[in-house]
């Protein structure tokens, strides 16, 4: 998500930058180019709009010579049914007035305007996709939609790849957890959520038993430091099940794990705090998720750093240690690092002070090995 191209006229650049930095959704810019004859100023870009756990590509077309004019949008080729301005407009040649009202009184000096328009368009796009799914002749999908679509934040879309039968994708936001409150210290850039992605094949025959959907958990990228979505085991989907039955079990399951993950931050923090009596104050520590800490250690005249990498399942899994010499450098001039160490004595039931004490004891011997390792690795000079 780079900042807008410098050759965009300032007003357009301001709007694009505002969109990229202020939207709760992770918009991306794919490409920026010029539509002018001399090509000096850029005035069009393709915007990747996050929708239904994927991106749709819209071309945004400005006019560099008239940067005050409102932008226009060209949608993806297979979305030609999406007509946010032309839908159902009847009397007097006035297209749907309710949509894109931010376009109506366009003000190029207001950098928030593009964001408002894009959000409005994205909302109409969600409506358009919902309508497409509702029009499908599939009994199970009709049932799912009638029972589940009232859920807040749910998104659906029809996926019709050219070489495969059409499918319908549901993106169901799970848990009403506010990560902003759970992890207060972290300035979350975008809205953090965990989604259940459910992909149904569209079946037109009523007689055959519909096959089970493909299910997957997806989390927004910033959550990965807190919680590993891959480690969650989903309950099996039973024949004849519907989403309304399935979701509560998933959510209960997930809630326990998220709460554990948040609690694990506290345990990691206590571990890092316990480092200082023996190792001295850490040089560096991750204050939010407490996943990393580095301390300086001395053995005789040998000075080295100890990097602690603390896993998400912390007390169950022990931290991974890496030693880094302050005195030995390889031929490229970078400090020599030890291989990751995690075969030291460990018990999740120890209290943090005991954990640190055992690591300290272990390192008293291990650092001598590391020193030898460094001396061997150092390039033979003269």
Residues that bind other proteins (CB under 8 A): 9-11, 33-38, 41, 43-44, 59, 61, 63-70, 72-75, 77, 80-81, 83-89, 92-95, 97, 100, 103-104, 106, 121
- Ramachandran angles phi, psi of 276, nearest 5°: -65, -40
Taking the complex as a whole, how short is the minimal distance between the CB of residue 75 and other proteins, in angstroms?
Answer: 7
CB 274 within 8 A of CB 290: no
Between helix 243-279 and helix 352-377 the angle, nearest 10°, is: 70
Q: Closer to other proteins by CB, 135 or 163: give it.
A: 135
Closer of 93 and 300 to other proteins (Cβ): 93
Q: How far is CA 294 from CA 302, 324, 333, in A?
A: 17, 10, 21
Compute the least distance from the CB of residue 340 to other proteins, in Å.
48
Q: How far apart are CA 352 and CA 382, in angstroms?
A: 47
Least distance CB 103 / other proteins (angstroms): 5
Q: Which is nearer to other proteins, 106 or 360 (CB)?
A: 106
Q: What minimum distance in Å lies between the beta carbon of 6 and other proteins?
A: 12
What is the CB-side half-sphere exposure of residue 13 using CA atoms within 13 A?
Answer: 12
- In the complex, least distance from residue 100 CB atom to other proteins, rounded to whole angstroms: 7
Q: Would strands 214-219 and 28-33 be described as parallel, antiparallel, or unpaired?
A: unpaired
Is the distance from CB of 371 to CB of 299 less than 8 angstroms?
A: yes
- Are the CB atoms for 346 and 318 separated by under 8 Å? yes
Angle at 222 between CA 220 and CA 223, to 5 degrees: 70
Question: How many alpha carbons fall within 13 Å on the CB side of residue 90?
Answer: 1
Give me the least distance between CB of 40 and other proteins, in Å please: 8
Q: Provide the minimum distance between the beta carbon of 60 and other proteins in the complex, in angstroms, as a whole number.
A: 10
The tokens describing 377, both together, are 């690795």
Output 28 or 83, the one with its CB closest to other proteins: 83
Q: Work out how close the CB of 245 gets to other proteins at its nearest, in angstroms, rounded to a whole number.
A: 35
- In the complex, the smallest distance separating the C-beta of residue 64 from other proteins, rounded to whole angstroms, is 6
Nearer of residues 31 and 211 to other proteins, judged by Cβ: 31
Nearer to other proteins among residue 74 and residue 242 (C-beta)? 74
Min dist CB 66 to other proteins, Å, is 6
State which residue, 131 or 224, has the beta carbon closest to other proteins: 131
Q: Which residues are paired to 100 by β-bridges?
A: none
- For other proteins, the closer of residues 84 and 315 by Cβ is 84
* Alpha-carbon torsion, ordered 61, 65, 67, 72, to 10 deg: -20
- State how far the Cα of 193 lies from the Cα of 174, in Å rounded to an integer: 7
């Amino acid at each position: 998500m780079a900042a807008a191209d410098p050759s965009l006229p300032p007003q357009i650049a301001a709007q694009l930058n505002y969109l990229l930095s202020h939207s709760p959704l992770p918009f991306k810019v794919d490409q920026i180019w010029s539509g002018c004859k001399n090509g000096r100023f850029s005035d069009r870009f393709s915007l990747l709009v996050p929708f239904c756990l994927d991106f749709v590509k819209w071309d945004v077309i400005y006019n560099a010579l008239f940067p005050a004019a409102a932008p226009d949008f060209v949608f993806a080729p297979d979305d030609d049914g999406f007509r946010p301005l032309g839908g159902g407009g009847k009397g007097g040649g006035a297209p749907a007035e309710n949509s894109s009202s931010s376009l109506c009184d366009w003000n190029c000096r207001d950098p928030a305007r593009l964001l408002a328009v894009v959000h409005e368009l994205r909302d109409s796009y969600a409506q358009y996709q919902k309508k497409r799914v509702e029009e499908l002749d599939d009994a199970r999908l009709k049932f799912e939609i009638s029972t589940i679509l009232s859920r807040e934040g749910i998104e659906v879309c029809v996926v019709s790849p050219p070489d495969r039968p059409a499918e319908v994708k549901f993106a169901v936001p799970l848990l009403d957890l506010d990560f902003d409150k759970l992890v207060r210290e972290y300035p979350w850039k975008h809205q953090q959520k965990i989604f259940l992605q459910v992909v149904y094949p569209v079946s037109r025959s009523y007689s055959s038993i519909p096959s089970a959907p493909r299910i997957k958990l997806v989390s927004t990228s910033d959550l990965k430091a807190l919680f590993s979505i891959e480690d969650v085991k989903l309950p099996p989907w039973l024949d004849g099940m519907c989403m309304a039955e399935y979701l509560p079990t998933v959510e209960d399951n997930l809630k326990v794990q998220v709460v554990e993950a948040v609690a694990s931050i506290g345990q990691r923090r206590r571990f890092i705090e316990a480092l200082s009596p023996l190792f001295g104050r850490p040089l560096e520590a991750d204050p939010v998720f407490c996943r990393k800490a580095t301390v300086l250690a001395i053995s005789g005249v040998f000075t080295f750093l100890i990097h602690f990498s603390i896993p998400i399942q912390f007390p169950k899994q022990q931290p991974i240690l890496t030693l880094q010499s302050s005195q030995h450098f390889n031929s490229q001039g970078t400090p020599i690092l030890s291989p990751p160490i995690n075969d030291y004595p460990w018990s999740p039931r120890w209290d943090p002070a005991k954990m640190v004490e055992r690591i300290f004891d272990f390192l008293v011997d291990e650092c001598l090995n590391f020193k030898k390792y460094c001396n061997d690795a150092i390039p033979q000079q003269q």
